[in-house]
Each structure stands twice: as C-alpha cells, then as structure tokens.
Amino acid sequence: MARFEVPEVDYTRYTNRQLAAVPLAVLAVALLVIGGFYATTGAPVDPGLDFTGGTELRLGIDAPQEQAREQIDGAFAATPDSVQRIQGENVYVVTFEASEATAGELEAQAEGAGFTVRSVDSVSASFGSGTQTQALLGVAAAFLGMAALVFAMFRTFVPSIAVVASAFSDIVIPVALMNLLGIELTLGTVAALLMLIGYSVDSDILLNNHVLRRSGDFYESTHRAMRTGVTMTLTSLAAMAVMAVIASLFGIGLLSSIGIILVFGLAADLMNTYLLNVSLLRWYKYEGVAR
C-alpha cells in the first residue's frame, strides 16, 4: 500500500507577512459577511427551529414533486417557511417557524388535505430562546476554557495567542459560510462548531510542541509536525466529506449540515495552522525572543 507523504514546504521563500496575509484576509472577509448578515437580519447567523420555536411536520404525499409542492402550499392557512423533499421518498419536511397555529391545528390541516402525517415536532418560542442562550454560552465557555488551558500550557503570549487566533478563525469562517449556504444554526450545528474547537487545538498544540519543546531546527520541527497534523486533519476532512455527501443523498439534513461545516472548518484549520500559526511562531522564535 502506498504511503501518504506530506510534501515539505520551503517556508524560507516567504516572509511572515506573506504567510499571514491569506488567512487574515479570509478571516476579514468572513467577519464582513457575518457583520453584513447581522446588520440585515439582526442575528449573526440564521437560527433554526431549535432556537426560534415552531413546528416541523413530515408528510407522506403520493404525487409528483411539483404537484406535491402546490398541494402543500394550499393545505395550510399559514405559509410554510421551508419545504424539503427527502431524497428517494415521497416524504416532505414542512417547517413553520413561530407560527400562530398550534402543532395540533397544523396536523389537522395536513390530514384534512389527505396527507399522511409521519411525525410532528414542536418547539415553543420561549423554550427555543432559552436553548439558544444556553447553546451560545456553551460555545463561549468552551472557547474561553480552551484559551485558558492553552495559556497555562505555554505560559508565553505569542505561541498561546497563535493557537487562540487559529481556533477563533476556524469557527468564524464556517459561520460565515453557513450564512452564504443557507445553513441554519441548530443544536446539531452548534455541536459541529464545538468539535472544530477540539480539532483546531489538536493541530495547533502539536505544531507548538514540536517547534518550542523539541530539539531541531525550526523548519525541521515544523515539517515533523506537519507530517502528523496534516495527515490527521485530511483524514478527518475526508470522513466528514463522505458523511456530508451520503447524508445529502438520503435527505438527512442535520448530518449533511454538520459534515459541511466540519469540512470547511477543517480546511480553514489547515490554512490557519500552517500559514498564520507558523508565521507567528517563526517571528516569536527568531525576532520576538531576541527582543
């Protein structure tokens, strides 16, 4: 079996500013996207049913897709916020966010239109708002806890801030892409963002340890860390890509969204770790310490 080898990058060809320019530019664009979305909608990312409250129905409809969509639009007194067909089945996921109609009334309207109601899920607006607050506090607490642990491990500002900055960017970039791709913030996508914190810290701490705590030249230590870190990240990225594709084919929206977020987050992690983090560590080792 052929062994995967990470090519050795000649970092001496690039200045620290050149290495940091690309990840910082991508981060700036991501922040602009999030800021623009917040200015337009009042939220940094579109909250899903878990946080806004509402009702989701799974309806079995024995009709061609276009005809089924027309039947769904005419069946309910309120206009559905989302209608999605499950791939390979005549089943449609119909979502009403913050609708005045109760779950029972919507179910009755669906049955009255001749649909087969497979399931009904309902979340109250107050419960959804409370869940959103708890979820965002959980992400903030996880990030702050990670930052405190990193500073406790390295006890120096530049290597620690390099890890924290990379982790921050690894979260911000996928959030911006969620807005562009129309992926809603749900409990599942919050879990994906929490996973990205762990993935990011793994590769960054691995790099910092090799450069700061092991013998060898800076570039030799960096390449040693890359052989393990890049292989680890690419393996996870490939697995998440496969999950996203298969989940999309079978109409499993939550797993598809999680997979897409992790794919983009892991790709951002490769960029941030081996461009931004490397530039900060090289500056710290050859210029920052000397000063």
Q: Name, of 24-33, 56-65, 80-89, 185-194, the range with top average pLDDT.
A: 24-33
Q: What mean pLDDT do residues 198-222 have?
A: 88
Q: Which two tokens stand for residue 2?
A: 């052929």
Instruction: Write down the pTM of the prediction.
Output: 0.83
Percent of the chain clearing pLDDT 70 (strictly above): 93
- For residues 178, 180, 183, 187, the Cα torsion angle rounded to the nearest 10 degrees is 30
pLDDT tens, position by position, 4-37: 567 778 898 999 999 999 999 999 999 999 999 9
Tell me the C-alpha distance between 163 and 152, whole Å. 12
Percent of the chain clearing pLDDT 90 (strictly above): 42
> 91-97 and 116-123 as β-strands: parallel, antiparallel, unpaired?
unpaired
